[in-house]
């Protein structure tokens, strides 16, 4: 990875207005997770939590509604504007504009930090991990959450395949391998704890036209480094592939994601 890339992040400002309507994580699923974490005493009301890379607040808000004092942090003011609008009338939920790679002025310490889909977007993700570690109390918890299987629809996979076949370079800026992230936190002094949670899963259907619309609106950060000419070319080829399918853009795909949740405890 080159040095320039290391300090960059995927800033979601350009897609802030589209973010909520293009997500596949139902609020009821997050509420269910939060309730279960309260039931097994991983969380309790009155705790202070940080949601790093909070986006529009899709985790910050349900955690806050459960009585937890939440701070959402994001590098994008536009995402934070949406988060603030989504969180009206939640006095113990606040949002701060900051880059996790450069947190120097946070004087508060948190009981836990929740992170969902952040490290793949941060060039210096190890630096972000160190900074978040220093914001945790001792002992403090790190909760890593991802909706696995929600985004790998056939149209998006075809778009990647076509970009690769054309030898166009694209990738996430940071680390998208959760095991690598966990290993790094373990090296920082965390231990992985068992979470007695059932598999939390749901399903939804997406049409090829809808999935293509997401690509047209450039909702996926791993493709943001394609030039506009490259992006247009891949879109055109993807569209042709869709139109060759027996039901074309009306083809529907059933997606069956589940929540991937990891709990780590900071030991010292």
Ligand X SMILES: C[S@@+](CC[C@H](N)C(=O)[O-])C[C@H]1O[C@@H](n2cnc3c(N)ncnc32)[C@H](O)[C@@H]1O
- Point out which residues bind ligand X (CB under 6 A): 9-12, 53-55, 58-59, 73-76, 79, 99-101, 116-118, 121-122
Residue with smaller CB distance to ligand X, 99 or 126: 99
In the complex with ligand X, the residue whose CB is nearer, 51 or 111, is 51
Q: Identify which of residues 44 and 97 has a Cβ nearer to ligand X in the complex.
A: 97
Nearest distance in Å: CB 251, ligand X: 26
| Three-state secondary structure string covering the chain | CCHHHHCCECCHHHHHHHHHHHCCCCHHHHHHHHHHHHHCCCCCCCCEEEEECCCCCCCHHHHHHCCCEEEEEECCHHHHHHHHHHCCCCCCEEEEECCHHHCCCCCCCEEEEEEECCHHHECCHHHHHHHHHHCEEEEEEEEEEEEECCCCCHHHHHHHHHHHHCCCCCCCCCCCCHHHHHHHHHHCCEEEECCCCCCCECCEEEEHHHHHHHHHCCCCHHHCCCCHHHHHHHHHHHHHHHHHCCCHHHCEEEECCEEEEEEEEECC
Residue 72 beta carbon to ligand X: minimum distance, rounded to whole angstroms: 8
Closer of 185 and 242 to ligand X (Cβ): 185
If the CB atoms of residues 130 and 233 are measured against ligand X, the closer one turns out to be: 130
Q: How far is the CB of 118 from ligand X (least distance, A)?
A: 5
Nearest residue (CB) to ligand X, 75 versus 264: 75
Q: How far is the CB of 236 from ligand X (least distance, A)?
A: 26
Q: How far is the CB of 162 from ligand X (least distance, A)?
A: 23
| Min separation Cβ 227 and ligand X, Å | 22
User: Which residue lies nearest ligand X, judged by its C-beta?
Assistant: 55
């Amino acid at each position: 990875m080159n040095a320039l890339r290391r300090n960059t992040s995927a800033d979601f400002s350009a897609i802030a207005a589209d973010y909520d309507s293009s997500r596949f994580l139902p609020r009821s699923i997050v509420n269910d997770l939060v309730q279960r974490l309260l039931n097994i005493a991983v969380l309790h009301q009155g705790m202070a939590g940080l949601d790093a890379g909070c986006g529009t607040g899709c985790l910050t808000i349900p955690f806050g509604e459960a009585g937890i004092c939440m701070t959402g942090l994001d590098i994008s003011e536009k995402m934070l504007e949406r988060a603030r609008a989504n969180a009206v009338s939640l006095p113990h939920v606040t949002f701060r504009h900051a880059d996790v790679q450069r947190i120097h002025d946070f004087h508060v310490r948190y009981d836990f930090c929740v992170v969902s889909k952040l490290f793949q977007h941060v060039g210096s993700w190890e630096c972000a991990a160190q900074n978040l570690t220093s914001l945790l109390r001792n002992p403090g918890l790190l909760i890593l959450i991802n909706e696995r299987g929600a985004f790998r629809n056939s149209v998006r996979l075809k778009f990647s395949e076509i970009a690769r076949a054309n030898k166009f370079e694209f990738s996430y800026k940071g680390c998208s391998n959760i095991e690598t992230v966990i290993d790094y936190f373990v090296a920082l002094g965390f231990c992985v704890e068992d979470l007695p949670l059932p598999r939390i899963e749901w399903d939804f259907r997406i049409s090829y036209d809808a999935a293509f619309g997401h690509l047209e609106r450039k909702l996926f950060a791993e493709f943001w480094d394609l030039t506009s000419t490259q992006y247009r070319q891949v879109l055109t080829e993807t569209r042709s592939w869709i139109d060759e399918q027996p039901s074309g853009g009306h083809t529907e795909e059933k997606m069956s994601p589940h929540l991937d949740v990891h709990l780590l405890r900071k030991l010292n």
